[in-house]
Structure 1
Amino acid sequence: MTNPTNGHDEVPIDEATGTADAAAPEAEASLMDAGPALLAAAQAEARDMKDRMLRTLAEMENLRKRTEREVADARTYGVTSFARDMLNVADNMRRAFETLPAEARPAEGPLKAFVEGIDLTERELLKTLEKHGVKKIEPDGQKFDPNLHQAMFEVPNAELPKGTVVQTVQAGFVIGERVLRPALVGVSTGGPKAAPQPAASDEA
């Protein structure tokens, strides 16, 4: 049909509707063909998001544990330098106490009180350090442990197993699980082989 106004042919309404109806099944079929691919892409994206979320959670948990460990270490080992200095003070007090032999110490009087005061002060100092995790190593009679002890000399002694600590020259100390200062010791060189000792953490 020709439009008398503009001279162009018009498409009948019924014909246009039929064309649209014919195109609809094709579009639907195309969408159905693309459906599995879209689903697979969505599933892959979901897996990727889940993986990233799990990684983020794992990183946050590791950060939390690392922070807790660092805080605990700071609390335990933060006094290391101070404790080492205090051990020097304790050593000097012990030397002063031992300068006067036991048989020469008076039974009474001001000097007796002075000597006892030095001994008491040293004990109180070590007790205070122990409250902060600093513990004394007492190795006499134990098997020599290079992690805790430093050998200063050897003593021939057939009655003791080889490698047994026979004398402590200077006391050692640990703080937490770390050696603050190794014990300076003398070690036996003769006799039967020493029996195994507990782990270093148990000895400390």
Structure 2
Amino acid sequence: MALRCLGSCRRHLRDLNRLLSFAGCDYRGSVCLYSAAAHHRSTGDECHVDEPADEPSHVMTIRMLELRASKLEEQVQDLTERYKRAVADSDTVRRRTQKFVEDAKVFGIQSFCRDLVEVADILERTAGDVESEFRGQETQRRRAEGAAAGVADLEGQEGGEGSPPLHRLSEGLALVQERLQAVFTKHGLEKMAPVGGRYDPYQHEIVCHVAAEEGGAQPGTIALVRQDGYKLHGRTIRHAHVGVAVEAQED
């Protein structure tokens, strides 16, 4: 639309320029006729030439055409500025739309990942509980066998065939965790490892403080993690709940 308006204004300007040229030539011809008539009258020539009666109308026509040309030039400039702004706005919208589409492709699974990491937390806690239960039962079994057959026989039975069902369950859960973390890595989902690093409010959330002497960490660093944090393609989708080491206050 802006291009059509610019083309139309330019055609009007060309037409006005031609009219101005024609009017100027006509006006100069009238002036020449008027000069010739004055010369003939001064020399007593019998040939009389009437004065141009439409000279004021020519002047008015030229002024009107010049005013019209000036207005058209202003319209051309205004339309040109509008066209430039429209092009700039459309380019900005195009870049924003392209960025939005790219983010949608990369972070479209963000909500799904937030829900999935909660399942990973439950799986990790369950695997830890099963492993602890297995170790407790294994310790009790070894103590009972040691009391009955002696410590030497207990050492000879270590590594024997036939793992208990609880141990097989623990191994299966560990394999599921390993496979789940591989799937996370494949899709850009990464678990944070903040222990020993500095506190970052964009990645961590402080839930407690730990004495630096007890945890063996430097003051201001992260000493423990209560809940793992995750990133999706470098963007934090869940903050890690951490405990920060602080200096013990002297009484």
Residue in structure 2 matched with residue 119 of structure 1 by the alignment: 174
Question: Where do 1:79-98 residues align within 5 Å?
Answer: 79-98=109-128
Once the two structures are TM-superposed, the CA of residue 176 in structure 1 deviates from its matched residue by 3.9
The amino acid of 2:170's aligned partner reads V
Question: Normalising by structure 2, what TM-score?
Answer: 0.59
Question: Where do 1:24-173 residues align within 5 Å?
Answer: 25-99=55-129, 100-101=131-132, 104=135, 109=163, 111-158=166-213, 160-173=217-230
> Residue 185 and residue 102 in structure 1: after superposition, are their counterparts in 2 closer, same or farther (change >3 A)?
farther
Aligned identity (percent) is: 27
Q: How many residues align?
A: 173
3-state SS in 2 of match to 1:138: coil
Once the two structures are TM-superposed, the CA of residue 33 in structure 1 deviates from its matched residue by 2.3
> Residue 20 and residue 86 in structure 1: after superposition, are their counterparts in 2 closer, same or farther (change >3 A)?
farther
Q: 158-167 vs 180-189, which deviates more?
A: 158-167
Q: 110-119 vs 39-48, which deviates more?
A: 110-119
> Residue 102 and residue 145 in structure 1: after superposition, are their counterparts in 2 closer, same or farther (change >3 A)?
farther
Residue in structure 2 matched with residue 14 of structure 1 by the alignment: none
3-state SS in 2 of match to 1:160: coil
The amino acid of 1:118's aligned partner reads L
Once the two structures are TM-superposed, the CA of residue 142 in structure 1 deviates from its matched residue by 0.6
Deviations 1:5-48 (A, max 9, x none): xxxxxxxxxxxxx989642x443322322343223212110111
- Where structure 2 has 5 or more consecutive residues not aligned to the other structure, the ranges are 1-48, 139-157
CA RMSD of aligned residues (A): 2.9
Contact in 2 for aligned 1:93/1:119 (Cα 8 Å): no
Question: Normalising by structure 1, what TM-score?
Answer: 0.71
- Where structure 1 has 5 or more consecutive residues not aligned to the other structure, the ranges are 1-17, 192-204
User: Which structure features the higher share of helix residues?
Assistant: 2
3-state SS in 1 of match to 2:212: coil
